Amino acid sequence: MSDRKKIAAIVTIYRPHSHADVIVTKFLKGFPTDEGVMDPRVDIASFYVDQFPSNELSRRFATEHGIPIYDSIAEAMCLGGTELAVDGVLLIGEHGEYAWNEKEQHLYPRKYFLEQICGVMATSKRGVPVFNDKHLSYNWHDAKWMYERMKALKAPFMAGSSLPTCWRSPWLEHPKGTPLREAVAVSYSGLDVYGFHVLETLQCMVERRAGGETGVKAVTCLEGDDVWKAADAGQWPVDLAEAALDRIPDKPAGGMKANTPNPALFIIEYLDGFKGYTLLLTDYIEQFAYAGRLASGEVQSTYFYLPTAQPHPHFTYWRSMPRKCF
């Protein structure tokens, strides 16, 4: 009997360059590193795939690697039996043909998938780790339910995006315990799809501040002219946003206000009194950057380089940064 752990891949869609491809395929083919490809140390034991476009990959990989594709999440979790038969789950609810709501949120079925995953764990009286790609849900109720349900089952639960793993130019990672006073991350695109990414850009930096992470007290979102009015009122640090933007190459001339007809701003108030800000500047930039102010007044900033080359190398580990970043 092999002692390698068995993993169920529960995905919405598995086409080239989708999140399923850039994550699950590494568990099949290996993990690229600067020293070469590292073999996976666990096995993908089952697939559940919700949608099959004409360019889908799961059937080919299932044949190549001898992995069954099941018709239901419960079957994939039980490997066709009646009880939980895997040691972990990759839940990738990203990409695919799903509805959008009036808030421009893509209604991916992450909670629906997790309900079924948890149902199998509950009836089998055994919890296993689940990694949820990106944020938990498009609404607070579902996200809170997902967290509390996994906690009740005593099952390890992880989630997140690839932004914290991006190359940074210049390299910046605050030492733990850094006396940060405030910080800003800048990005672009929709409030849901990239609003989450820019929040992770901010969070991976500021959680290293003195005292560590304490939790969030309140979040305020402003859009359009209200963003600039808040700037004029001193409600967010424009100079920090400009310090972050200065790290981004090839921006249009004229500055952020002149180039952004509909900006969006999140003001995040933490329980320890710290404040962070994320600014979405669609039509002005198509990159991510960060700036933080230390207690001494010093400003530190960096460009989070998100490679456009396929197949998205920021979903893996590379020590080396392409020279064009510098």
Number of domains the chain is built from: 2
Q: Looking at the structure, do residues 90 and 16 belong to the same domain, yes or no?
A: yes
Residue 250 CB partners (closer than 8 Å, separation 6+): none
Query: What is the domain extent for residue 255?
Result: 164-325
Q: Looking at the structure, do residues 204 and 282 belong to the same domain, yes or no?
A: yes
**pLDDT bracket for residue 98 (50, 70, 90):** very high
Helices of type H across the chain? 19-29, 58-65, 73-78, 110-124, 140-152, 195-206, 225-232, 238-245, 255-259
**Structure confidence at residue 118 (pLDDT):** 98
Residue 142 burial by Cβ neighbours in a 10 Å radius (0-12, 13-18, 19+): middle
**Structure confidence at residue 161 (pLDDT):** 85
The domain that holds 311 is classified in CATH as 3.30.360
Q: Looking at the structure, do residues 41 and 99 belong to the same domain, yes or no?
A: yes
Q: Looking at the structure, do residues 242 and 212 belong to the same domain, yes or no?
A: yes
Instruction: Tell me how crowded residue 97 is: count the other CB atoms within 10 A of its CB.
Output: 9
Q: Looking at the structure, do residues 186 and 72 belong to the same domain, yes or no?
A: no
pLDDT at 290 over 80: yes
**pLDDT bracket for residue 309 (50, 70, 90):** low
pLDDT at 275 over 60: yes
What mean pLDDT value characterizes the chain?
A: 92
Higher local confidence (pLDDT), 320 or 164? 164
The domain that holds 133 is classified in CATH as 3.40.50.720
Query: Model pTM?
Result: 0.87
